[in-house]
Amino acid sequence: MGIVLEVCNLVKKYNGNVAVDKISFDIEDGEIFSLLGPNGAGKTTTISILSTLLTPTEGSATIFGYSLTKQPMEVKKLIGVVPQEIALYDDLSALENLNFWGEMYGLTGKALKTRVSEVLEQIGLTDRAKDRVKTYSGGMKRRVNIGVGLLHKPRLLFMDEPTVGIDPQSRRAILDSVKALNTAGMTILYTTHYMEEAQELSDRVGIIDHGKLIALGTQAELTAQVGEMDTLILHVGENEDPEHLAQGLRTVQGVFQANPSDHEVALVTPSAEEVLAPVVSRANELGIKIHSVDIREPNLEAVFLHLTGRALRD
């Protein structure tokens, strides 16, 4: 397996603000690499640079050996991009959209017709191909959005949060299609702020926050950074103050971190079972009622929590 994408100290600044801060990573042929991070972490900016839409302020990147800045046309021919927003023409049908974008990627005639049929089959919209996109559900639009990125059979596919704002069923279908594409040999760079997606899909994960790549590796390598820590999630009522509870729990023996968010507090501890009783007791002392408790094994959420002190959704 060779390296298909190599990123070296990539920086992007907007009016003095650093959106991407010296990011370096590479992607091997045939793998699914996820960039995991909260909204505003710099995932979309990174994808925009790698898809030649933005010019990096500093640093370099090569795709299949071609320089992003010096050979952008060569790069464009080899990559496919599924943008976060649904970039389609609502007043055109799925068929017309696919025909248009196929031609933009140089497909014509019979090759275009055949490929559009294949993609329609692949995204399960052959029956609705002639309906205008504006009549589709959010999930169907997402599928067409992905289909456009696949038309020219790219060797490397960038997918920028392709499951945002859709129903669970459509999300499941998209995740399955990502796996199928990868099985068929396509290398994929996938960005998400859903830990579950990164866990399910990725061979390797890069965790990004405030424009910096703060961790990189396989899931096993990343969770090992947290050690044998458990994550204990305490759910509280709407009228309770999670910040107050978190503050009170930080002094409980065995609690390494206590991070409040909406109606819950996430605790990082070596043993969830051992700290549970004193935690509930302290909550009672503080007059805060705990509605329910989840115990999670070490996962990417815990890694992010461990590294940043914040939950991914913050």
Partner 1 sequence: MNLRKFFLIALKDLRLILRDPTGLVFMLLAPFALTLGMGALTGRFSGSPQFGISQIPVVIVNQDSGELGQVLVDVFTSEELNELVLVDLRSDPTEARTLVDQDKTAAAIIVPEGFSASIFSAESATAVVPIEFYENPTRQTSTGIARSILESFLNEVEISRVSSKLIVGQLLASGAIQPEQAAALGAVVGREVATNTSRNASVRLISGTAESSNIKFDVLAYMAPGMAMLFLMYTITLGGRSLLVEARAGTLARMLISPTNAGFILGGKGFGIFLTAVTQLVIVIGGTSLLFRLQWGDWLGVALLILAAAFGASGWGILMAAVLKTPGQVAITGSAIALLFGILGGSFFDISMLPGWVRSLSMLTPNSWANEGFRILSMGGRLGAIQTHLTVLVVMGVALYGVGTVMLSRRGLMAK
Q: How far apart are CA 108 and CA 101, in angstroms?
A: 11
Q: Which one of residues 3, 87, 111, 280 is an interface residue with partner 1 (CB under 8 A)?
A: 87
Residue whose C-alpha is closest to residue 140's, from 169, 104, 110? 169
Q: How far apart are CA 151 and CA 149, in angstroms?
A: 6
Neighbours of 106 (CB within 10 A): 11
Q: Which is nearer to partner 1, 79 or 205 (CB)?
A: 79
Q: How far apart are CA 152 and CA 103, in angstroms?
A: 9
Q: Which one of residues 37, 59, 83, 298 is an interface residue with partner 1 (CB under 8 A)?
A: 83
Q: How far apart are CA 238 and CA 223, in angstroms?
A: 31
Any contact of residue 153 with partner 1 (CB under 8 A)? Answer: no
Any contact of residue 77 with partner 1 (CB under 8 A)? Answer: yes
Q: Which one of residues 88, 174, 186, 222 is an interface residue with partner 1 (CB under 8 A)?
A: 88
Neighbours of 233 (CB within 10 A): 17
Q: How far apart are CA 235 and CA 237, in angstroms?
A: 7
By rule CB under 8 A, what string of x and - marks binding of each residue 35-64 to partner 1? -------------x--xxxxx---------
CB of 55 to partner 1, least distance (A): 4
Q: Which one of residues 27, 35, 61, 148 is an interface residue with partner 1 (CB under 8 A)?
A: 148
Any contact of residue 262 with partner 1 (CB under 8 A)? Answer: no
**DSSP label at residue 134:** G
Summarize as ranges the residues that interact with partner 1 (CB under 8 A): 48, 51-55, 73, 76-77, 79, 81, 83, 85-89, 91-92, 96, 100-101, 103-106, 108, 148
